[in-house]
Amino acid sequence: MNPACGAWSLPRPCRVLVLLNPRGGKGKALQLFRSHVQPLLARADVSFTLMLTEHRNHARELVRVEELGRWDALVVMSGDGLMHEVVNGLMERPDWETAIHKPLCSLPAGSGNALAASLNHYAGYEQVTNEDLLTNCTLLLCRRLLAPMNLLSLQTASGLRLFSVLSLAWGFIADVDLESERFRRLGEMRFTLGTFLRLAALRVYKGTLAYLPVERVVSQGPAPAAVERQNQQGPTDAHLVPLQEPVPPHWTVVPEQDFVLVLALLHTHLSSEMFAAPMGQCPAGTMHLFYVRAGVSRAMLLRLFLAMEKGKHMDYDCPYLVYVPVVAFRLEPKDGKGVFAVDGELMISEAVQGQVHPDYIWMVSGCVEPQPSQKPQQGAPQREHL
Q: How many domains does the chain have?
A: 2
Give mean pLDDT, residues 258-275: 95
* 3-class state of residue 25 by DSSP: coil
Is there a single domain that holds both residue 113 and residue 241?
A: no
**Contact assessment for residue 289 and residue 326, using Cβ atoms and an 8 Å cutoff:** yes
Task: Please name which of 184, 206, 167 lies closest in space to residue 332, comparing C-alpha atoms.
Answer: 206
Catalytic residue among 72, 80, 237, 359: 80
Is there a single domain that holds both residue 84 and residue 181?
A: no
Q: Tens digit of pLDDT for each residue in 5-41?
A: 445 899 999 999 999 999 877 789 999 999 999 999 9
In-domain check, residue 371: no
State which residues form the domain around 73: 14-144
Q: Which residues contact 7 (CB under 8 A, 6 or more apart)?
A: 145, 146, 147, 367, 368, 370, 383, 384, 386
Task: Please name which of 142, 109, 110 lies closest in space to residue 33, comparing C-alpha atoms.
Answer: 109
In-domain check, residue 325: yes
pLDDT at position 376 over 60: no
Is there a single domain that holds both residue 99 and residue 173?
A: no
Is there a single domain that holds both residue 302 and residue 341?
A: yes
Is there a single domain that holds both residue 71 and residue 130?
A: yes
Instruction: Count CB neighbours of 42 within 10 A.
Output: 12
Structure confidence at residue 356 (pLDDT):
98
Mean predicted lDDT score pLDDT of the chain = 88
Is there a single domain that holds both residue 137 and residue 157?
A: no
Structure confidence at residue 185 (pLDDT):
64
In-domain check, residue 289: yes
Q: Is 237 a catalytic residue?
A: no
pTM of the model: 0.89
Structure confidence at residue 114 (pLDDT):
95
In-domain check, residue 125: yes
Is there a single domain that holds both residue 138 and residue 159?
A: no
CATH at 289: 2.60.200.40
